[in-house]
């Protein structure tokens, strides 16, 4: 299974942009890059996903490197409600299993 | 959006008893569902994959006789923790695969075995 590497934790000030990196050097050509976040005592919730091109939605933007070996989740203006663990996951072609890495615990400072 | 309803949200049981956790897909059919376990401050660990109408596929190291998974319909999957012990205390989360891609997760069940 292709693996992802993320920093264990990051801090951001409220109202400032946050860039959460993810390395996935063993990604295969058909793997999608998914981002989910988990608030305390809740199940993960979908944030964004992409294949090759950068993606934008209401919650965030996803910037994917040209070689696809890394990606960055961008929260344009962090709020206290964005404090969560953010997981970068590759969809494993053929098995459809999600293998969670350690994720990045984002702390937002008021 | 597609929602998976998971119940109960928390449960306390005595050691040696069994506990059933339910996950229902609302407004969509879930052919494939997944069960995860999460210990405090740790990531989600995949326990098993269940496909409607067939036996679940368990990940290495997960006891199939202890964690019984039933996926008898396209909208319901259940996880039964049999003969629960304190070390089974954990946060259990289900998820359903969406077409064409992506997953939706239940809100989780916190199990405490005393």
* Model confidence pLDDT, tens digit, residues A46-68: 999 999 999 999 999 999 999 99
Q: Which of A49, A37, A21, A46 is nearest to A82 (CA)?
A: A37
| CA pair distance B29, B77, nearest whole angstrom | 11
Exposed, middle or buried: residue B53 (CB in 10 Å: 0-12, 13-18, 19+)? exposed
**Which pLDDT value is given to residue A47?**
95
More confident residue, B21 or A99: B21
pLDDT band at residue A15 under the 50/70/90 scheme: very high
**Which pLDDT value is given to residue A95?**
65
- Cβ of residue A97 closer than 8 Å to a chain B Cβ: yes
Q: Could B105 and A44 be called an inter-chain contact, meaning their C-beta atoms sit closer than 8 Å?
A: yes
Average pLDDT rounded to a whole number, residues B72-96: 95
Q: Which of A100-104, B80-84, B87-91 has the lowest mean pLDDT?
A: A100-104
Cβ–Cβ under 8 Å, residues B98 and B92: no
Q: How far apart are the first and last CA of chain A?
A: 38
Q: Tell me the CA distances in angstroms from A58 to A7, A61, B29, B104, one per residue in order.
A: 24, 8, 26, 18
- Cβ of residue A93 closer than 8 Å to a chain B Cβ: no
- Cβ of residue A99 closer than 8 Å to a chain B Cβ: yes
Q: Which of A101-105, B1-5, B15-19, B86-90 has the lowest mean pLDDT?
A: B1-5
Average pLDDT rounded to a whole number, residues B61-67: 95
Q: How far apart are the first and last CA of chain B?
A: 37
Q: Which of A26-35, A54-63, B38-47 has the lowest mean pLDDT?
A: A26-35
pLDDT band at residue B52 under the 50/70/90 scheme: confident
| CA pair distance A39, A79, nearest whole angstrom | 13
**Consecutive H or E run containing B51:** strand B45-51
Query: What is chain B's mean pLDDT, rounded?
Result: 93
Average pLDDT rounded to a whole number, residues A34-49: 94
Peptide bond into B100 cis (omega under 30): yes
- Cβ of residue A11 closer than 8 Å to a chain B Cβ: no
Q: Could A100 and B110 be called an inter-chain contact, meaning their C-beta atoms sit closer than 8 Å?
A: no
51-90 of B, contacting A, C-beta below 8 A = none
């Amino acid at each position: 299974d292709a693996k992802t590497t993320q920093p264990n934790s990051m801090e951001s000030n409220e109202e400032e942009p946050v860039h959460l990196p993810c390395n996935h050097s063993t990604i295969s050509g058909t793997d999608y890059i998914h981002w989910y976040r988990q608030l305390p005592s809740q199940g993960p919730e979908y944030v964004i996903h992409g294949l090759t091109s950068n993606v934008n939605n209401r919650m965030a933007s996803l910037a994917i490197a040209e070689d696809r070996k890394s990606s960055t989740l961008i929260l344009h203006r962090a709020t206290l409600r964005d404090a969560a663990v953010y997981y970068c996951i590759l969809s494993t072609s053929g098995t459809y299993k999600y293998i969670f890495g350690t994720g990045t615990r984002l702390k937002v400072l008021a | 959006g597609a929602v998976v309803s998971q119940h109960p949200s928390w449960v306390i049981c005595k050691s040696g008893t069994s506990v059933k956790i339910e996950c229902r897909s609302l407004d969509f059919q879930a052919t494939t569902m997944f069960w995860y376990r999460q210990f405090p401050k740790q990531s989600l660990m995949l326990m098993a994959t269940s496909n409607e109408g067939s036996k679940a596929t368990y990940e290495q190291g997960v006891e199939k006789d202890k964690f019984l998974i039933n996926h008898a319909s396209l909208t319901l999957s259940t996880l039964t923790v049999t003969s629960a012990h304190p070390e089974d205390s954990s946060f259990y989360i289900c998820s359903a695969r969406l077409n064409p891609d992506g997953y939706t997760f239940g809100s989780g069940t916190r199990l405490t075995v005393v």
